[in-house]
Structure 1
C-alpha cells in the first residue's frame, strides 16, 4: 500500500494548533508532551478509534468515508479550503501514468490576453508557470525579463520561483511576507490536487533547497485559496501602486488561471498605471508599413 506522508504531516500540523482548552477538553493539569491535541483526544472527539485515526495519519487508510473526514475536520476546525485539501490528500483520484508534456495555451486565451490593453493580465499554468502576459503585466511585474520568454516552454518564468528567488519581486511587493505565505498556501493546494506531477515535485524541491523562507513556510502546511487580493507595490519606474488582482479559473484548461489587475478609478494608482501603459506603448516598435502594390 502506497503511503502518503503529506496527509500525516498536514494532520499533525493541524492537531498542533488546536489547544485542548479551546474546545473544552479537560487536561487535569500536568505537562503535556505534545502541542495541541493528542491522537487519542482527536479520535475520541471525532468518534473514531485511535487505531483507525493512527492508520489514517500514517497514510494507510485509503478509503476514509466522508463522515470520518468531516468529523476530523470539525474537531480540527478546518476552513473550507483546508477541508478540500484534506479530502484531496486522504482520497486522491486514481491517475493513469502519463507523459509529462509542456502546458499549452489555447489560441483563444492568447487572443483574450492580447485584447486586454488597459489592464495588466497574465495566465498561470497549473505549476504557476507564466504561460502568457500582456505588455502591461510584463512591465508591471517583470520588466527586467525578456517579454518573449513566456512563448517557449524551456524559458518560461515560474511565478513561485520568481517570487522566492528573484530580488526584483522582493522589492516590488511591499508586503513580501504576506505574499510569500499566500504563494505557498496556493502551491500547497495545487500539490494536493496533483500529487503525482513530477515537475511540480521538482519545483517544490528546488525552492525548498534554495530558499530557507520557502522551506519554513512549506513545512507549516499553509492552505488557502488565493482568488483575490489588494496589494501595494513599489514599482521602480512609476512608483507606488495599490492594485486589486482577481484569479479566475479557466474551466476548459486544466489548472490554468487568468490573473487580472485593476485599480480604483480616479486614484493615484490609476494615474501611475496609465503612465506605465504610455511608457509601454512608446516602447512598442512601429508597425512595418506595407509596400504599395506595383503599378500594372
Structure 2
C-alpha cells in the first residue's frame, strides 16, 4: 500500500468506516460497505497503530474531518466496551487529532446462554470513560449517541470538566440526555430524538439543575414519544437562558402541545430562529371531526 500511487477518490472510499471490535481482536476496514468484503488485519494494537499511520501518510487531511468511529455490539461476539476504543486511542496517538466525528452506537439487548437458560444484559457506557474519550479527541466537533439506557453510572459525586462540542445528536431514552449534558460545556446544537417515553420528572430535576456550566444555543426536539417531562427538565435548567434557536417536530398531541406552549412562554422572547412542525395528523383516540392539539395550536 505504501508503494502504490492511489488516487484521492479511492482513499476516500477506503477510509469510510472503522469498527473497533471486542478486546481489539481484529480491526475491520469496510471498503465496499458489504460484509463479504471485510478486510482483517493482524490482531494486535501494534498493527492497528501501523495501519492508522499509513492512512495518515497517504490520505488527505480533510478526509478525517468526516470519519466516524463507532463502537458496535455484534451479538455473536458479546459486548464491545468503550474501554476498548480508549485503549485503541492510547495505542495510536496520531489518530485522536484527526477525528472530527464520533458515532457511538449501543444496542441495548440481552444474550441468552442456552446451557444455563439465563439472559445476560449488555452493560452500558460509563460516564468517566466517555469523558476520558472525549478529552482525547481534542478536535472533535460532532458527537452522536444511539441506544437505550446508555449510561450505567451516575454523576452524583463527580463534577467533570465541561467539554465543548459543536453538534450533539442523542437518539436514546430521554433520561439519558441530561446525564450526557452534564459532561458538556459549549454546545452549538443539540438534536434529541427518542421513541421511548420518560415521565419521572423527579429523576430529571437534579441533573437539570446541575447544568449551570452548559451553554446551549440550538435545540432540535422530535416528540416521537410523550415529551412533557423532558420539557419540564429543560425549564428547570439554565439552558433556557442561552437558547436562541428552536426546532420542534411531531408535536401532534395535546400533552406535547401544552409542554410546547410552556417552553415557548419561557424562551420565546429571546429566540432568533424557530421552526415548529405542527402536524395535522389526528391523535389516535380523538373522535372524528376534532382537531388534534397541534392543529389547535
Q: TM-score, normalised by structure 2?
A: 0.24
Normalized per residue, the structure richer in strand is 2
Larger Rg: 1
Q: TM-score, normalised by structure 1?
A: 0.24
Normalized per residue, the structure richer in helix is 1
Structure scoring higher RCO (CA < 8 A, sep ≥ 6) equals 1
